[in-house]
Structure formats: structure tokens, C-alpha cells
Amino acid sequence: MIRARITGTGSYMPEQIRTNFDIEKMVDTTNDWIVARTGIEERRIAAEGEYTSDMATRAAERALEMAGVSASEIDLIVLGTITGDYPWPATACIVQQNLGANNAYAYDISAACTGFVYALGCANDFIQSGRGKKVLVIGAETLSRIIDWTDRNTCVLFGDGAGAVLLEASEDGDAGLLSSHMHSDGSYFDLLYQPGFGTRIMLSAENYDNRSNYLKMQGNEVFKVAVRSLTSVSLEALEANGLSASDVSLFIPHQANKRILEATAKRIKLNDDQVYINVHKYGNTSGATIPVAMDEANRAGMLNAGDIILLSAFGGGFTWGSALIRW
């Protein structure tokens, strides 16, 4: 049986740190409120002239370096992002050019915070179908440019960054992706979205003054559905593989908010030491949170042969999904 194995991980976080104390000077909030409600202490902000494609490229280079694979060997690049360099073409094509991955084809996936998990699912299908052997799966975001830095309800939550994994076809042993589950429910689309500027709410003086080009969110509603969906899709992954919570070596959830992660972990019946959390350092980087956390955990020696790794994400759309991996 062909399985998709992760043979390299990489990440890139911009240098500039914006702490809660910096945000205290921008809107009516406090470090204590942000830490108590979200667990976030600081986030990274892309430098002027630094774009989603740049961060994605750096993360991908690091994943390729770890795997010992050259860019010309890649068959496919899938990039989960909602903050691409341009409305189109796909930022994945710019990454392809940066890497010199001339034998690949490349596309973006728009599934908000679930973007990486969707991309991983598509890459897994591609490999299992036998269509190709090496896929770069990336999550990269420059959310700081679609955040309204005058809106305290949202600006405290998000940050920038990129993470990547290299998936390779393997017929040896039983390591690799065991399953992927993906869902969406468009009836919730306007609880978390960016109204402008697409082809519906177009760039105009009025829409610009309305601040339509910034992320809008009904946090309370998102919170409730996020916990419910992350729990159900995590249990779905375990059940599909005949496993239980005690079999999970590490749960790497989308890093949205520490309270969401703790509530989800409790419902799945995972202990604290089974859950990887880095939201305090980076905030919510949407499609980038899971590959960044995976790379950190991997480089810290926390992912070992045979480990069962559970990934689950939830985001705008609403979209949600999971992947279960035997390392």
C-alpha cells in the first residue's frame, strides 16, 4: 500500500515581535485580558516588503533541506492560505518559481484556518492515487495585513508565519498518513470572513471607509462551533483507525486560542502532556499554525518513529478537518 510519509518539516516566523503590551498602546485592552481570554502573549508581524510567498518559500526550503530532497524532484505544491500575495494567481506558483521547482504544478487552497489540513488531505489523495511521489504542503499567512488594528475584538488574536512539510510516497512499513477527514458548512460563512475586496464588495471609496477589507468575526459563536467541530473531527479520526485517546502521542491542533484547545482536549479526554501548544508565542496564524507547531515539535525531538500524531483544525467557511499520522 502506498502511504504519504512526512520526511521533512520547516517553518519561518518573521523577526518582529508584537507583544500584548504593544497592543495596549493601540486599542483599549490589557495584557491580562488577552492572556486570560486567549493565552496569547505575543505574535510575529511580517516586515515591510516581506510577503506570504517569501515566508512560505523559507519554510519550504527548510523542509526540503531536512528531507534531503531537491526542488526539481517535487511533483506538486499545495499552499493553504487566505492572505496570498495577490488575489490571483496562486501564491503557490510564486513559491514554485522561488524554489525553482520546475517539474511541479502548484495551487492554493482557501480554507482559512483549516487550509493546511485540507492541503494535506489533497496531497495524501494525490500520493495514494499514484499520480506523484513528492509533495510540498505549506500553510502561510500574513494576517497582520487583513486585521483591523483599531478593532480590539480581533486584532489581539492573529499573527504572521509559515510552516511546510514534505510528503513522500512510501511502500515500506506502516508509517505515514493513516487518514484525513474534511468538512465544511457554508451556512456560517459570515461569522468569520473578509467581506472586501472581492467581486461582490469591490474596492470603492465607500467600502474602503467602511473598513470592509478587514477580517470580521463573531468571536463567541466561532468559539462554540470551533470546540464542537474540533472535538467531533478528532474523534472521527480516532474511530476511523480503531484508536482511542490514550493511543495519541501528540495532538497538534490549530492554535486559535488556548481556551479552545483546552476545552477540545478535555472533551477528547487527552492529558495536558499529549497536547502541543505554542499559541502564546505566535497567536493564531491561521493555515500556518499546525505546520509551524509540527516543525517545532519535530526539531525538539518530540515526534518519534511509531508515534500517533493527531492534527485537527477549524476555521472560516466554516471548515474543519483532521489528519492522523503514524510517524
Site residues for ligand ACO per CB under 6 A: 29, 33-34, 37-38, 113, 152-153, 156-157, 192, 217, 219-220, 222-223, 226, 254, 256-257, 260, 284, 314-315
Active site residue 254: yes
Q: Which is nearer to ligand ACO, 121 or 317 (CB)?
A: 317
The least CB distance from residue 242 to ligand ACO, in Å, is: 28
- Options 20, 124, 257, 284, the catalytic residue: 284
Cβ–Cβ under 8 Å, residues 139 and 115: yes
The least CB distance from residue 76 to ligand ACO, in Å, is: 26
Amino acid (1-letter code) at residue 200: R
Residue in the shown chain whose Cβ atom is closest to ligand ACO: 219
- Options 113, 122, 124, 155, the catalytic residue: 113
Please give the grid coordinates belonging to residue 71. 526542488
The least CB distance from residue 93 to ligand ACO, in Å, is: 26
DSSP lists the bridge partners of residue 276 as: none
Burial of residue 41, with CB atoms counted within 10 A of its CB: 0-12 exposed, 13-18 middle, 19 or more buried: middle
Active site residue 122: no
Q: Which is nearer to ligand ACO, 12 or 320 (CB)?
A: 320
Q: Which is nearer to ligand ACO, 69 or 277 (CB)?
A: 277
The least CB distance from residue 7 to ligand ACO, in Å, is: 28
Of 46, 58, 49, whose CA–CA distance to 16 is shortest? 46
Q: Which is nearer to ligand ACO, 187 or 220 (CB)?
A: 220
Angle, helices 219-240 vs 258-268, to 10°: value is 40
Rounded Cα–Cα distance for residues 12 and 58 (Å): 6
Rounded Cα–Cα distance for residues 1 and 172 (Å): 9
Please give the grid coordinates belonging to residue 278. 505554542
Active site residue 113: yes
Cβ–Cβ under 8 Å, residues 181 and 237: yes
Q: Which is nearer to ligand ACO, 126 or 214 (CB)?
A: 214
Rounded Cα–Cα distance for residues 122 and 162 (Å): 19
Q: Where in the sequence numbering do the catalytic residues fall?
A: 113, 254, 284
